[in-house]
Amino acid sequence: MKFSDVLYGIRHCTRLRGVDNEMKNLQAEVSYAMEKIEQMKNAEWDLTIKLEDALTHLERDSQQLALCGEALKDVCDSSKVDAEPLYDLVAPYLDPEGWTRYQIAKELTGVNVYSDFYTEDNLGYFEGDTATVHMRYLEASAFRAVEYEIMPNTCYERAVLGEVDCNAPSYLEYREKLHQRTLEKLGCVKEKQPQDRAEPPTPTKTKKNTKEVR
């Protein structure tokens, strides 16, 4: 056998070993990929089961909520129940930011905080995500709990809110009517017919803040 033949055989064997190593590496990668695919299938199956369980619980909770809502309507319609505690109970779920109650308060009082307090509006007082600040200014304006002071180093007035007399009969009547109508709007109690409604109290409004910030 010639030396060139031996050399050729060695080179050929070396190439075969390289191919064999590549095949082993490829097989390892395929095995790893198959293992990952199997893990993903198992994870997908587990997720599907959890999703089905969640949907089952959601459907059951929705049915229970509907039953509770019907029971709440029956209780409210069949007996004299204070409206405000009921509103406090359902508000976190049905009116979490308080805008529904605020809109009813606007209808009952006729107060528009943006026009009555547009100095504060220009200063960004009413830019929050909830109606809490709006309600404070609305009720203060409606029930004469506002004074005005000159802003430092300016000739502009700003409102200083006082405490509303929460024991005044007109305020108590307003609050009951406010929460009763809010519960009706939220669908928690049956809406009364117009002939069954009592007229809401007419609060005495304070003077408007007529100066604006430039």
The gap from C-alpha 43 to its chain's centroid, in whole angstroms, comes to 32
Question: pLDDT-based confidence at 80, cuts 50/70/90?
Answer: low
The answer to whether residues 94 and 169 belong to one domain is: yes
The answer to whether residues 8 and 22 belong to one domain is: yes
Domain that holds residue 7: 1-79
Judge whether 201 lies within some domain.
no
The answer to whether residues 73 and 96 belong to one domain is: no
Q: How many domains does the chain have?
A: 2
The answer to whether residues 70 and 85 belong to one domain is: no
pLDDT tens column, 160-207: 999 999 999 999 999 999 999 999 999 887 776 555 454 555 555 444
Judge whether 159 lies within some domain.
yes
Count the Cβ atoms, other than its own, within 10 Å of residue 51.
10
The answer to whether residues 90 and 104 belong to one domain is: yes
Phi and psi angles of residue 19, each rounded to the nearest 5 degrees, phi first: -65, -40
Listed range (49-53, 70-74, 145-149) with the worst mean pLDDT: 70-74
The answer to whether residues 73 and 12 belong to one domain is: yes
Mutual angle of helices 83-94 and 3-78, in 10-degree steps = 160
The answer to whether residues 72 and 84 belong to one domain is: no
Contact residues for 140 (Cβ-Cβ < 8 A; gap 6+)? 146, 159, 161, 162, 164, 206
Q: Which two tokens stand for residue 108?
A: 């009952």
What is the per-residue pLDDT for 56?
82
The answer to whether residues 92 and 71 belong to one domain is: no
The answer to whether residues 41 and 144 belong to one domain is: no
Judge whether 205 lies within some domain.
no
pLDDT tens column, 81-140: 688 998 998 899 899 999 999 999 999 999 999 999 988 998 898 988 789 999 999 999
Question: pLDDT-based confidence at 49, cuts 50/70/90?
Answer: confident
Measuring CA to CA, which residue among 168, 203, 182, 190 is closest to residue 85?
182
Contacts 24+ apart (CB under 8 A), 83-90: 83/176, 83/178, 83/179, 83/180, 83/182, 83/183, 84/175, 84/176, 84/179, 86/179, 86/183, 86/188, 87/179, 87/182, 87/183, 90/183, 90/186, 90/188
Q: Which two tokens stand for residue 210?
A: 């007529």
Q: Greater confidence, 203 or 28?
A: 28
